Amino acid sequence: MKLEVVEREFTSVNSDVLIVGVSKHPENTEGWNDFSALFGEHLDSWISEGDIVCDLKKITKIPSFGTIKRVLFVGLGNRKELQLDDVRHAFAAVGKELLQMKAENAAIWLGSFTSEMISEDDAAFVCGEGLILGSYKFRDYKTTSNEKDYELKTIQLVATGDSEEVHAAFEVGRVYGESVNEARTLVNMPGNILTATAMADYAKGLAEQYGFEIEVLGKPEMEELGMGAILAVNQGSVEEPRLIVLKYQALDEWKDVIGLVGKGITFDTGGYSLKTKTGIVGMKGDMGGAAAVLGAMRIIGELRPSKNVMAVIASTDNMISGDAFKPDDVITSLSGKTIEILNTDAEGRLVLADAVTYAKQLGAGYLVDIATLTGGVITALGYDKTGALTNNEEFFETFMEASIETGEFVWRMPLTERDKKRIRKSDVADMNNSPGGDGHMIFGGGFVGEFVENTPWIHLDIAGTSGASSAHDLGPKGATGVMVRTLATLVERMTEETE
């Protein structure tokens, strides 16, 4: 996509569609009168009569003339109350519309998306992000489809501010949007195609593109190191497991490293604690945590913040065979801690245990683990809130600021000493992997916490938020790419703190 920033002069815009943010008169921004004059000053009456709709995210298309074929108005509601996230959502609605129209080029009047609180640069950022998120479409495997891939070829931003800054802000938004979309694609891919090996190959591609150091462990290396937890989950599979490490070293010293640890179960059958025939469908998405980490790494690779970051991804499928692990087994994790298996469907915490231990061994000073870990988080918080646990108030506060900035809702749950006792209760081992069904989001994350020990840590359970059962504001049905933007924003904020 080619981007051009042009100074405000509507008559110089040559485009299939001009995009204008609209709110009820007299709240419209500077330049409205000039713009309205192009339509013989009819716009205000079309707005007051409801022919152009001002409700947030509502789109009204009207034909135009001259060098602009159509004007696409997008409602911004009450401009005084307008939040940046509303503008992001409005642009995503525009992205969806452009996808439907198969528009090849568009001009955007950026000033019409500003307010006293929202600058042109802010608007340019969420414009890049929203358009890309909203126009996402998964390339499926239908052989009958003769649809060509849609691509918006050129965008003209009509802006009054410093055009280089506007340009840069849009590009950062675009990187965020594209990286979320890549994560979405990984999650949407089926388990027979996106195997652990294929995920490692994708990570290798990122490493090559962005100069990350990469280490990929296979089964023999895991056996050598004693990664008994991920190996147990992989035991029943014909697909080899992969533990993927990407290192982004921005500082001379490998210190204060943020470790992003992702659950990469490419398909979760539940193992011998088998899922039901309806519960199993969709379990190709059980690598949403890994995808979020890879998406965030792509943003980091593009934007290159001054902060050391490491990604650790534990990937395998969870299958059944004569070789598979089973309830009552006792396994030894990389940390040396022994685990009594009570439920083979609680496999995510097992692979994360080894991944977290390995991240610590490689020098992580902060840890965020992210996983589609439990159905419990869905029971507790539904499909639109990511559940969190933490052992460090300050780290969590920075994280929450990042999540508020991206508009990705996170809610913290408690982890008490009593919960920890239940995780550590076993007649035969140091701990068990499934203390009970009551409040089990906490047990899932708390189990990972046992391996984190004192390192500042945040656990994110995205079982509810990683996939959407129907189209939503920022994208279509399917993978959402949740937390890609928040993880990258967290790294940015941690960079600012140390500067």
288-303 and 163-188 helices cross at what angle (nearest 10)?
160
| Residue owning tokens 């913290």 | 412
Cβ partners under 8 Å of residue 35, min gap 6: 10, 20, 43, 109, 112
Q: Which stretch binds ligand BES (CB under 6 A): 120-128, 143-151, 203-211, 370-378?
A: 370-378
Let me know: does 106 contact 14? Beta carbons within 8 Å.
no
Cβ closest to ligand BES, residue 373 vs residue 380: 373
Instruction: Work out which of 346, 359, 410, 487 binds ligand BES, going by CB under 6 A.
Output: 346
Cβ closest to Zn ion, residue 96 vs residue 440: 440
Let me know: does 352 contact 445? Beta carbons within 8 Å.
no
Binding site partner of 406, from Zn ion, ligand BES, none, Cβ cut-off 5-8 A by kind = none
Instruction: Work out which of 115, 188, 372, 386 binds ligand BES, going by CB under 6 A.
Output: 372
Binding site partner of 191, from Zn ion, ligand BES, none, Cβ cut-off 5-8 A by kind = none
CB 332, min distance to ligand BES, A: 21
Question: Applying CB under 5 A, what is the total number of residues that bind Zn ion?
Answer: 6
**Per-residue binder mask for Zn ion (CB under 5 A), 338-377, x = binder:** -------x-xx-----------------------------
Cβ partners under 8 Å of residue 390, min gap 6: 396, 399, 412, 457, 458, 459
Cβ closest to ligand BES, residue 64 vs residue 343: 343
Exactly one of 298, 349, 420, 485 is catalytic; which is it? 349
**263/459 Cα distance (integer angstroms):** 11
**120/307 Cα distance (integer angstroms):** 28
- Nearest residue relative to ligand BES (C-beta): 375
268 makes contact with Zn ion (CB under 5 A): yes
The β-bridge relationship of strands 257-268 and 309-318 is: parallel
Positions 417 through 456 that interact with ligand BES (CB under 6 A): 434, 440
Let me know: does 111 contact 31? Beta carbons within 8 Å.
yes
Instruction: Work out which of 197, 343, 392, 495 binds ligand BES, going by CB under 6 A.
Output: 343
286 makes contact with Zn ion (CB under 5 A): yes
Residue 275 annotated to the active site: yes
**44/484 Cα distance (integer angstroms):** 40
Cβ closest to ligand BES, residue 159 vs residue 373: 373
Q: Which tokens sit at 133?
A: 């998120």
Exactly one of 61, 70, 219, 275 is catalytic; which is it? 275
Partner residues linked to 386 by β-bridges: 410
376 makes contact with ligand BES (CB under 6 A): yes
291 makes contact with ligand BES (CB under 6 A): no
Cβ closest to ligand BES, residue 54 vs residue 370: 370
Residue 349 annotated to the active site: yes
Please count the other Cβ atoms lying within 10 Å of the Cβ belonging to residue 220: 9
Binding site partner of 315, from ligand BES, Zn ion, none, Cβ cut-off 5-8 A by kind = none
Cβ closest to ligand BES, residue 95 vs residue 435: 435
- Provide the edge-to-edge strand list for the sheet that holds 330-332: 330-332, 338-340, 431-432
Instruction: Work out which of 348, 445, 446, 476 binds ligand BES, going by CB under 6 A.
Output: 348
340 makes contact with ligand BES (CB under 6 A): no
**DSSP secondary structure of 377-411:** HHHHHTTS-EEEEES-HHHHHHHHHHHHHHT--EE
385 makes contact with ligand BES (CB under 6 A): no
Nearest residue to 350 via CA among 359, 360, 338 = 338
Positions 401 through 460 that interact with Zn ion (CB under 5 A): none
Can you list the positions of beta strands (E) in 23-138?
A: 59-63, 68-75, 105-109
Active site residues: 275, 349
Residues that bind Zn ion (CB under 5 A): 265, 268, 286, 345, 347-348
Residues that bind ligand BES (CB under 6 A): 268, 270, 286, 343, 345-348, 372-376, 434, 440, 463
